Structure 1
Amino acid sequence: MTLRPATPADRAALYRICLETADSGEDGTHLYRDPLLVGHVYAGPYLTFAPEHAFVLDDGEGVGGYVLGVLDTAAFSARLEREWWPALRAQYPDPVNVPPGERTPDERLAHLIHHPAAPDPALLAEYPSHLHIDLLPRMQGRGQGRRLFDHLFSSLRGAGSPGVHLGVGGRNTRAQAFYWHLGFHELSRSPGGALLMGLRL
């Protein structure tokens, strides 16, 4: 099992893994009409603008897991506003006139493209970095998630980060338990049960 830096050649694999773990860790292929949409939001910008903190696992059958990190969330968000979201906004209409409860999964992500969440300065003062991690089933339960985390934490710590945060859905209890075990703690919880978790580095 090889852990290595992600490269532009890994983009298709990252998008595929992102989609195949998009349903609270399960395969979300059936949920999205556009198979690239999830990757446009949660994988593509990280590989494009923060490749120094992007790492993949390759088991010989291909890339089956990744961790994507950002050192400075505020600066990253500002760059996406300038260089990533505009092209996607031209491609995906804003579903602002569709009531939130009636939006399809594609429309929910399109809304996020047009209205990305603004970083909380109080949060970023202590946890300026953030990450996304996904592993396909063949990579799970073998210590590879911890291996990816340790590698990213070392990378972020070496770049001067004091802390990192991540979000996890309310239904993804398996991932929540894993993050608790790694030392993350709850920072906030949405009405739907999604957690924002943080870890001091």
Structure 2
Amino acid sequence: MISADIRPYRPEDRDALYDICMRTGAAGGDVRGVYRDQTLLPDIFAGPYATLEPDLAFVLDDGGRAVGYVLGTSDTARFARDFRDKWLPTVAAQHPLPGGEPGTPDAVMTAFLHRPEVMVTPALADYPAHLHISLLPGYQGRGYGRTLLATLFAALDKAGVKRVHLVMSSANTGARAFYDRIGFHQISIPAPEELTFLGRSTTA
């Protein structure tokens, strides 16, 4: 029987976080064959959160290593500033900004890395926090995702943050059903069809 426990992130979890991010980065599926640069997505969606806001980083530990995580920020606007000022200088040389119009998955995501301000959407001002959650396939559908999110929600509520949002692939119908079950609702804002914005209170 698979069992695991939730605990705060530790710096030694970094490699596991990066691995989980790549194994689940395509609507829950593996993207290691999609991107040439195997640290690009984690340097956008995992590393900066664990580094800049470790108090809002929690992992699912199977007794040997992290097999899932939830990462968040309590203030998206501040996080975007910190991303540019504190995080981007540490990874920019490894992921140089491509010239011209981005034409590959790597180029598109590298452009995103260099423009962290795009994560700030005025229409989401009432949902200042945001999050990313990923679990390896063997740990999905066992209640761990719900517990990881409850852990993050409690930490956000303790910090005085009352609402949180996330951005997901509209094609990931399984994840959407999960989020609906735990109280998320769709936020109607101008956005590409392939993206869905969801929000909820950090309390029940």
- Asked if 1:94 corresponds to 2:136, the answer is no
Aligned pair partner of 2:62 in 59, 62, 65: 59
SS of equivalent to 2:55: helix
Change in 2 beyond 3 A, CA 1:95/1:195: same
> Is the Cα contact below 8 Å between 1:96 and 1:111 reproduced in 2?
no
SS of equivalent to 1:68: strand
* Residues 39-83 of structure 1, C-alpha deviations (whole Å, 9 max, x = no match): 100000011010001000011242110000111111111111111
Unaligned residue ranges in structure 1 (runs of 5+): none
Q: Post-superposition shift, 1:90?
A: 2.9
- Asked if 1:15 corresponds to 2:15, the answer is no
- Asked if 1:29 corresponds to 2:51, the answer is no
Hey, what does 1:190 align to over in structure 2? 191
Counterpart amino acid of residue 90 in structure 1: A
Unaligned residue ranges in structure 2 (runs of 5+): none
Hey, what does 1:120 align to over in structure 2? 121
> Is the Cα contact below 8 Å between 2:49 and 2:57 reproduced in 1?
yes
In 2, the alpha carbon distance for the partners of 1:139 and 1:118 equals 29
Change in 2 beyond 3 A, CA 1:167/1:96: farther
- Asked if 1:2 corresponds to 2:8, the answer is no
Q: Post-superposition shift, 1:140?
A: 0.6
Change in 2 beyond 3 A, CA 1:132/1:20: same
Counterpart amino acid of residue 136 in structure 1: L
Aligned-residue identity in percent: 45
> Is the Cα contact below 8 Å between 2:22 and 2:32 reproduced in 1?
yes
In 2, the alpha carbon distance for the partners of 1:110 and 1:193 equals 19
Q: Post-superposition shift, 1:154?
A: 0.5
For 1:130-145, what aligned pairs fall within 5 Å after superposition? 130-145=130-145
TM-score, normalising length: structure 2: 0.91
> Is the Cα contact below 8 Å between 1:128 and 1:164 reproduced in 2?
yes
Hey, what does 2:129 align to over in structure 1? 129
SS of equivalent to 2:33: helix
In 2, the alpha carbon distance for the partners of 1:189 and 1:8 equals 37
In 2, the alpha carbon distance for the partners of 1:168 and 1:157 equals 22
* Residues 136-168 of structure 1, C-alpha deviations (whole Å, 9 max, x = no match): 011111000001011110010011001000000
- Asked if 1:167 corresponds to 2:167, the answer is yes
> Is the Cα contact below 8 Å between 1:127 and 1:165 reproduced in 2?
yes
Number of equivalences:
197
SS of equivalent to 2:49: helix
Hey, what does 1:177 align to over in structure 2? 177
Q: Kindly report the root-mean-square deviation, in angstroms, between the aligned alpha carbons of the 2 structures.
A: 1.4
In 1, the alpha carbon distance for the partners of 2:83 and 2:109 equals 15
